[in-house]
Chains A and B, each alone.
Chain A
């Protein structure tokens, strides 16, 4: 049995940590094991079956310690049972396996066991300081003079009696609130609080074997706000594929928060998971060389799109059209491509195209672009689009052109066309065979 106790600090010395904080910590802990319980001011979990899945005890300990510290855990302790782990955590000892359990427990102050606390004064008067002192008292005497819980708790802590726990059940929906420690004026600074919520969200997703594709961060303004500022605001982050990678979610949220301007200082954060989808995990490889380092492309593109805007990270879609402007359409990279690709023409096309054709200078009926152009091949007549009309601009997209491949000594191989319908035929540069 491998138990871990995660001790949360109380907001002030007298009160115990809030139920919400314990609940949030328990939800995060559920990603490691389904056996998670709340005991007094700590969360305890049983991890013996999960050690191998998380890469060994050392890796698991380090992960619990580092992520727990981000969630505000004051002390983590490991022991063969939950009461011992809790007592060790209260005493500030982290490893209960270094010595035999009796030895390490005997040295602890007796208040570290919750069942001792009601009888603390009486026990102190008969000279008890440590748990060892209490244990050495005659069992019959303890049973008669004190209540039954004390003996039972002592037996359980020393591993001589079984324990009973009420396991925490995983909630169906994720919605968590966090009161910030101080008022935040700057939107990017919200990320520090939001990261704590995201950690909990990722734990919840891991426990459900799911990933999220949309989550919402809401913030409530401080009570001292001006009336114009309103109650608060919210931001919804969408991802292309379900994920529960904390670093990726944090960076995405950071990019979005960088563009938010807060109207008033913020006191509260609420994070909800809007869309949750099952996530299929990839098996780890036995051989190290087949494992690719780095992220997948869509994660990077998502981050680029978050900063630059989705309209600027594009993938092409071929369209069945002969007019070069409408042969290829660019759509945001996150959108799915059509399943059936369009047939494209086998005629030569340039690799770069000008978004608007450039009118060329004509001298003596010959077009000039960085010197005189030499026509190599053509004409390729493109005539079509009389049915197509740009409603917004109020003009036809009818194209009547003769395309030529031209060569310029400076600019390489160019794609130019001559209009036929206009009164004065003109030459335009439209693409570069680059």
Chain B
């Protein structure tokens, strides 16, 4: 991580400072030292490879610019099974395109391949391990991490204890692919050995709200808004549906005052659309 060789930065024989090197302020560090120094307010650079998450806003905030390999990443959400594919979809697309497998351990509901195909997951690269009890999930996840055989591992561990996460983290240091543990939002209060932890929830306007509350570097103060339209819905969204928050009956939207109409309007859109909106009727 040395930007310039040492002799270039601190050459005692150089009598006149070269034009490329400005005179040093008192207290300023030599360039070579400054490049090798990590300050507490900077993002840490991970030693291992990262894979881009597919969200530019998220990549900018993750150390190294993507999901880390050789480490465990925790994704906390208030309800499991509401946003995992949307958040990890771009990554899974890369993994499957590279010909490696995605293994899911103990998902809360049955994965639906026709929908996952829109996230780039193909049938040859998806394995569902139906582990029901907490110990089975941990054992399966541990075996898969130890073997370093899958391109990405997503495990739902609602009851994992901190020492079990630590064990997985230690094993994951030799696992190339990213390992994701999906846990309930209450786990945010527990300590965890995972170097990257996110709290995610679903926003109304086709977006995911992500708090990066633990990473190498300072915790992120602001909430990230990541645009995400799941499951091929992008193709059928009308211009009005791009902002579902304006259709919400109970939310006092800025442009429409809460009137008895607004509720009717929202209802009317779906049951009897106005002449201007294009109605998508998908019938088999």
Interface centre among B113, B119, B248 (most CB of A within 10 A): B113
Q: Are B149 and A299 in contact (CB under 8 A)?
A: yes
Q: Which of B53-61, B83-91, B186-194 contacts A (4 or more CB under 8 A)?
A: B83-91
Q: Which residue of B lies closest to A337 (CB)?
A: B124
Q: Which of A297, A353, A378 contacts B109 (CB 8 A)?
A: A353
A250 to B: closest C-beta gap in Å: 15
Q: Which residue of A lies closest to B116 (CB)?
A: A351
**Chain B neighbourhood of A301, CB < 8 A:** 127
How many Cβ-Cβ contacts under 8 Å join chain A to chain B?
Answer: 204
Q: Which of B110, B266, B284 contacts A384 (CB 8 A)?
A: B284
Q: Which of B108, B114, B237 contacts A327 (CB 8 A)?
A: B114
**Chain B neighbourhood of A432, CB < 8 A:** 81-82, 109
Q: Are B118 and A314 in contact (CB under 8 A)?
A: no
Contact with B along A302-328 (1 / 0, CB 8 A): 011001100111111110001010011
A interface, how many residues as a size bin? 35 or more
Given contacts A300-B143, A349-B232, is CB(A316)–CB(B283) below 8 Å?
A: no
Given contacts A312-B131, A337-B124, is CB(A409)–CB(B204) below 8 Å?
A: yes
**Chain A neighbourhood of B257, CB < 8 A:** none
Contact with B along A395-434 (1 / 0, CB 8 A): 0000000001101011111000000000000000001111
Question: Number of B residues whose C-beta is below 8 Å from A?
Answer: 68
A341 to B126, CA, bound (A): 14
Q: Are B282 and A380 in contact (CB under 8 A)?
A: yes
Interface status of A122 (Cβ within 8 A of chain B): no
B109 to A: closest C-beta gap in Å: 4
Interface status of A348 (Cβ within 8 A of chain B): yes
A378 to B103, CA, bound (A): 32
Interface status of B140 (Cβ within 8 A of chain A): yes
Q: Which of A304, A377, A381, A411 contacts B129 (CB 8 A)?
A: A304
Q: Are B144 and A300 in contact (CB under 8 A)?
A: yes
Contact with A along B220-236 (1 / 0, CB 8 A): 00000000001111011
Q: Are B174 and A314 in contact (CB under 8 A)?
A: no
A314 to B280, CA, bound (A): 35
A1 to B204, CA, bound (A): 79
Interface status of A355 (Cβ within 8 A of chain B): yes
Sampled A-B contacts (16; CB under 8 Å)? A294-B149, A295-B149, A307-B139, A311-B130, A316-B126, A317-B123, A318-B113, A327-B112, A345-B114, A351-B115, A352-B85, A352-B115, A355-B110, A375-B269, A381-B281, A433-B115
Question: B residues bordering A, Cβ < 8 Å?
Answer: 78-79, 81-86, 101, 103, 107-119, 123-124, 126-131, 136, 139-140, 143-144, 146-150, 174-175, 202, 204, 230-233, 235-238, 241, 244, 247-249, 266-267, 269-271, 280-284
Given contacts A352-B109, A354-B110, A413-B230, 4 further A-B contacts (CB under 8 A): A294-B147, A297-B127, A351-B84, A377-B233
Question: A residues bordering B, Cβ < 8 Å?
Answer: 292-297, 299-301, 303-304, 307-308, 311-318, 322, 324, 327-328, 330, 333, 337, 341, 344-355, 366, 374-384, 404-405, 407, 409-413, 431-434
